[in-house]
Structures are given as C-alpha cells and as structure tokens.
Structure 1
Amino acid sequence: MNWISSVLADPAAIASILAAVAMFATITSVMLPVLKGDKLETRLKQVTSQREKLRRASREALERKSLKREDNGKIGKISSKLNLQKMLEDPNVQQKLTQAGLRGPRPLAIFYFCRFILPFAGALLTFVYIFLVNDLGLNPQMKIGAVIFGAAAGFYAPNLYISNLAAKRQQSIMRAFPDALDMLLICVESGMSIEIGFAKVGAEIGSASTELAEEFQLTTAELAYLQERRTAYENLAKRTGHEGVKSVCMALMQAERYGTPLGDALRVMAKENRDMRMADAEKKAAALPAKLTVPMILFFLPVLFLVVLGPAYIKYTEMKAGQ
C-alpha cells in the first residue's frame, strides 16, 4: 500500500502509466480489425459451402428421380421386347404419371404393360362369367358386346387409375400450398435465397403434405442443378397441374426476370391461394344439401313414415280387432 501511495503521489509515475495505457489502447484499436477478421468474407464462405452442399444433395436427388434410366426389371424387359411404348403410344401419359407422383422408367413400363394385358384379361373374365357361369339372359349379340366392353374397360382402367391418383395428390398439395407460401415468404423476407427457402419449407411442410414437400425438394434440386431457374418453376407447375401453382410459378419467373421483389409477389400469391381454398370450401358446403337429398330419401323418410304412421296403424288394427 505504501508503494501504491508513493506511485500515485509521483507525477512522473502517473504520466508513465497513462502513456502505457494510451499506447495499449492505440495498438489494440489498430490490431483489432486484423484479429477480428472479415465477417463478410466468413459469411460468404459459409453461404458458398451451404450452397455447394445443397447442390450436391440436389444432384443426387435428381439422379435418383431421373427419367433417363432404363427399367431393368421383368416388366420393363417385356415392355421393351414387345415395344409397347411405341405400339400403345400416348403423348400425355408422361405428364399424367408425373402429376400422379410416379417418376422414373418403371411406372411408365408398368403402365404400358397393364394397358397391353388388361384388355385381354377383362375380355377373358367377361367371357368366362357370361358364357360359363351366368349368361344373365343375354342374346348372343349382347354377350359379344359385353366381352368387347370388358376389353375396353381393361384398356382404359390404367388411365382412370392414374387420373384418380393425380387428383388426390393435387388435393393434398393445394390444402397445404397457401401455408407453404406464407412460410416461403417468411424465409425470403428474412434474407434467405429462394433455393434455401424452398428447401426449408419442404422440410417443414412434410407433416401437412408429403406430396408438397416432395415437390419443393425437387424444385430445390432443379434450381441448383439446371442452368435456367425459369425451367425449374415451369417444371413445378407441370408436375402439380393446378392453376394456383401455375400463377405462383409465373409470378416467380417474372420476379426473376424483371427484378421485382419476391416478397411482394409471394404475399399477393399467398392471399390469392387462401381465397381460392376458402372458395373451394364454400363450394363444397353449398353442394352439401344436394348431396344429402338421396341419403335422406333412402334412410330418413322411411323411418319418419314409420314414426308418424305407426301409431295410427296400431290404433286401426286394435279398432278392427274390437269389432
């Protein structure tokens, strides 16, 4: 304590201490940016690393979903040997399969194989039932017509199945699409790129709609893999086949081309899709009374008649028995 008091009493010692503190502060202020490093460069490196990681994952996803590979299974080999794709060519079948969520060469080979074999199976089953089991009282011409009808039903059955599957998948996508747009808007406005936004929303929306999560992940892969981002948006619109998704993809393409803010476009599209979902719900609610007419006639009216006329019938039988 005596030493400290003596130092504080000496003006030269105080001046030396202040000079040392000033020198330390000067050196620290000069060297601090060097020691701290460049945050922008570090952040850009992190973004680049994340982008390359996403690009590799996207390429692997596209390779797994690729349509250019050949189906080496038994059905694929049979379809290739019989050349069913050329014999039963349908220009819209690929788009229908994609909208139904069936990608790759195997579903295409199975579709053409079923389209080839089911007419014979339908005709054979109809022939066996009508000619051997129960003729239903039909004349020969009607029996032949029934066999032809069975063959036609077998031919169009794969198309009907694919159409129903695509419709169910589209409904699942559109139920969660407005919420997904809201989440994508939050991601974009928080500073994320559109690729990372699609990847984030695709990971989060899976609990509400697996189909929409799959479509968003594929779009993320295509945005990182394809040369033109416009093509990725067009593919998303084709895979879903819904007007709401097409309008959103068109807005994204215009924002990409003209440089308009993505947040404004996504906000407007999210509101429109919510209104569209509400309009669909109101439409279903308005059609409910008409759909309930037949069940009410079949199930409610007979019971109502029994309740109303039952006591009168019982009274009538008692009066008749008393006479």
Structure 2
Amino acid sequence: MNFVSSIPDPEQLSAIMAAIAAFSAVLVVSWPYLFRNGLARRMEKVENERKLLRKRERARLTAERKPMSLRSEPRKLFKTIVEGFNLAKQAEDGEIAERLRMAGYRGSAPVIAFLAIRLIAPVVIFGIATLYFLFLLKPAVPLYAGFGIAAAAGALGYFVPSIYVRNRITKRQKAIRRAWPEALDLLLITVESGMSVESAFRKVAEEIGTQSAEVAEEVALTTAELSYLQDRRQAYENLGKRTGVEGVRAVVTSLIQAEKYGTPLGQALRVMAQESRDMRMSEAEKRAAALPPKLTVPMIIFFLPVLFAVIITPAAIQIAGIQ
C-alpha cells in the first residue's frame, strides 16, 4: 500500500488549518450569543428573591409591631392617680425612666403608668385574695387572720410591676446580646466600605430588623440621635445606657474614642465582634455544663422509681407465685 499518496499536500493542509482557525474564531465570537451564561441570570434571580423575602419579612414585622411613639399621652386614669397622690417627683426620677427605657418603654407615659399600676396592684390583689380566701376556701380561721393573709398578698402586689419590668429587661438584654455580634459584623462591613457612621447605623438598623427587632430599634434610635444631637458622644452614651449590655458599652467606648482621637474603627469593631461571639459561645457552654446537675433531681424523682418498678415487679410476681 502506498501511504505517501494519502498524505495531503501543503496547500491542502494550509487550507484545512485556515478553515479550522476561521471556524474557531467565529465560534469564540459567537459563543456568548449562542450559549448565554446563566450565572449572571441566576445571581440576579437570587438577589431579586432575597429582596422580595426581605421586603415581605419587613412588612410582616411592621404589621406585627405595635405602633409606638415617644409623644404618646398617658391614660387619664393613671394621670389622675399620679396627680392625686402627688407622685410627680417620682415621675421625674431618672432611675425609674432609665429602667423603663432598658425594658423598651420610652417617654413619660410609661413612667406614669408604672407609678399608677404600682398603687393599683396592691388594692386589686388584696380584693382578689380576700374574696378567694373568705368566700371560696372558707377556712376555719379567725376573720382577722384571713384579712392579714390578704393584706400580705396585697403588700406583695406593690412589687409586681417592678418584677415585671426586671423580667422585661432581662429578656431584652438577652435578645440584644444574642444578635449583637451579627450587628457588629454588619457595622464593620458598612464602615469599611466607606460609609459614614450615620449611614452605617441606618443600614444596620434596616438589615438586622429581620433577626432582632430590639437591636434594630436601638440602632435606629441612635441614628436619629446622631442626626439631631449636637454632641455625638451623648448619642453613643445613650445607646449604652438604654441597653445595659457590656458588649454594647464596649462598642460605645470605641466609637467615642474614634470620634475623639480619629483612630480607625474597623480593627476595633472586628476585635469586639469576635469577643462578643466568643462570649456568646462561652455562655452557651456554661449552660450546657450546668444541665447535668439540673437534671439530677428530675431523674431521681421521675426516672428511678419507674426503673425500680420495672426491675422489682417481675421478682415480686415470681415470689408471690411461689408462695
């Protein structure tokens, strides 16, 4: 067989190579039009879906959240009680107002309501205890003893509003402490992207609202105070006082120092975000470590009697059958 005749001559080889090159060039140029890249379209679809979900979640939170106003007027009954018992000085007490702000109640109306309820609660509880003790239980005790017990219950009612406010403060601080590291991460990203502090706080308030309404409320209020207060340091200090959380106070201190000395804020926020996250993890580990001792008593009361019954019952049945 003659293999030489099957080899194309140089002209044919050049033509074939030229045709391949031309086809490759046309294919490269027309590739984006023939086979469109779906990555950009998918990314745009994901971003639109994210915006839609975020908008829907904000609308839900706005619908569920009760309208609040710092200028809300107190109820006439509460105002009459406060004025009648001359409690105006206590209403002006900064400690009560500060504790109510830490619980999420702002303005003069919650202070007046708190003072009025603290007077009404003992009377109401005394009346309920008297009716329940004398007419429903009907104990065989002297009448003065029943009234004494009802009076003691009414005296405890004086502390019910304070206990409620304390529980609200604890729950609110727990929610703020849980979501604060994420808020610091968002604040760090916005600050390092070139935004001003006011814009950064505003953006954090918008983004963190779906996760923690408490943090979003405090950050939004700080943004408003940064806009109209002459001293920006006062706005930062108010944020620390309203929350009462150590992590927030540390960030407030860094913001004040950055405002005063012009130091970079990004590195400090990064360190504090990591510290807040470590503190949250440490708190979770402490709770997990404290779980076994707490389960000891329930296991002794509920688990061991059942276990003993399961083990001893067959032996008891056999002994009874033998006898």
TM-score range (shorter-chain normalised) is: 0.7 to 0.9
Partner of 2:244 in structure 1? 241
Establish whether residue 230 from structure 1 lines up as the match of residue 233 from structure 2: yes
Q: In structure 2, what is the Cα distance between the partners aligned to 1:79 and 1:141?
A: 29
Residue 211 (structure 2) aligned to one of 192, 208, 213: 208
Answer yes or no: is the 8 Å Cα contact 1:180–1:205 preserved in 2: yes
- Distance in 1 of aligned mates of 2:138 and 2:275: 56
Q: Return the match for 2:84 from 82, 85, 89.
A: 82
Structure 2, unmatched stretches of 5+, are 1-67
Deviates more, 1:294-303 or 1:204-213: 294-303
1:30-41 to structure 2, matched below 5 A, reads none
Q: CA deviation at 1:80?
A: 4.8
Change (3 A) 1:284 1:72: closer
The corresponding residue for 2:274 is 271
Partner of 2:73: 71
Say whether the 8 Å CA contact 1:84–1:113 is kept in structure 2: no
Q: Distance in 2 between matches of 1:166 and 1:123?
A: 27
Q: 1:220 Cα shift?
A: 0.6
Aligned partner of 2:146 in structure 1 is: 143
Q: Give the 3 Å change call, closer, same or farther, for CA 87–194 of structure 1 in structure 2.
A: closer
SS in 1 for 2:158: helix
Normalization by structure 1: what TM-score?
0.73
The letter of the residue matching 2:88 is K
Q: Distance in 2 between matches of 1:88 and 1:110?
A: 12
Counterparts of 2:230 and 2:124 in 1: how far apart (Å)? 47
1:38-187 equivalences in 2 (<5 Å) = 65-66=69-70, 69=71, 71=73, 73-83=75-85, 85-86=87-88, 91-138=94-141, 142-187=145-190
CA contact (8 A) 1:199 1:220 kept: yes
Counterpart in the other structure of 1:251? 254
How many Å separate the matches in 1 of 2:139 and 2:300?
30
Q: Secondary structure of 1:71's match?
A: coil
Residues 44-84 of structure 1: CA distance to partner in whole angstroms, max 9, x if unpaired?
xxxxxxxxxxxxxxxxxxxx743xx4725333442454255
Q: For 1:72 and 1:292, locate their aligned partners in 2 and report how far apart those are by CA, in whole Å.
A: 46
1:121–1:151: 8 Å Cα contact kept in structure 2?
yes
1:260 match: secondary structure: coil
The answer as to whether partners of 1:252 and 1:265 remain within 8 angstroms in 2 is no
CA distance in 1 between partners of 2:78 and 2:119 (Å):
13
Alpha-carbon distance change, 287 to 136 in structure 1, aligned in 2, over 3 angstroms: farther
Two-structure CA RMSD over aligned residues (Å): 2.1
The Cα of 1:129 is off from its aligned counterpart by 2.3
* Cα shift at 1:294: 2.1
Match of 1:220 in 2: 223
Q: What corresponds to 2:316 in structure 1? A: 313
- AA aligned to 1:195 is E
Question: 1-side partners of 2:285 and 2:235: how far apart?
Answer: 33
Q: 8 Å contact 2:82–2:115 — kept in the other structure?
A: no
What's the offset of the Cα at 1:133?
A: 2.6
Structure with larger RCO (C-alpha < 8 A, sep 6+): 1
How far apart are the structure 1 equivalents of 2:322 and 2:205? Answer: 75
4+ residue segments displaced more than 4 Å: 87-91, 135-142
CA apart distance, 1:88: 5.6
Equivalenced residues, count: 255
Distance 2:150 2:94 in 1: 28
Is 1:302 the equivalent of 2:309? Answer: no
Of residues 181, 198, 201, the one that matches 1:198 is 201
Structure 1 residues 135 and 71, CA gap change in structure 2 (3 angstroms): same
CA distance in 2, matches of 1:169, 1:309: 50
Q: Using a 3 Å threshold, how does the CA distance of structure 1 residues 123 and 88 change in structure 2: closer, same or farther?
A: farther
Deviation of 1:168 after TM superposition, in Å, equals: 0.7
Q: Which residue of 1 aligns with 2:37?
A: none
Distance in 1, matches of 2:318 and 2:197, equals: 78
| One-letter identity of the residue aligned with 1:247 | A
Deviations 1:235-272 (A, max 9, x none): 11111111111111111111111111011111111111
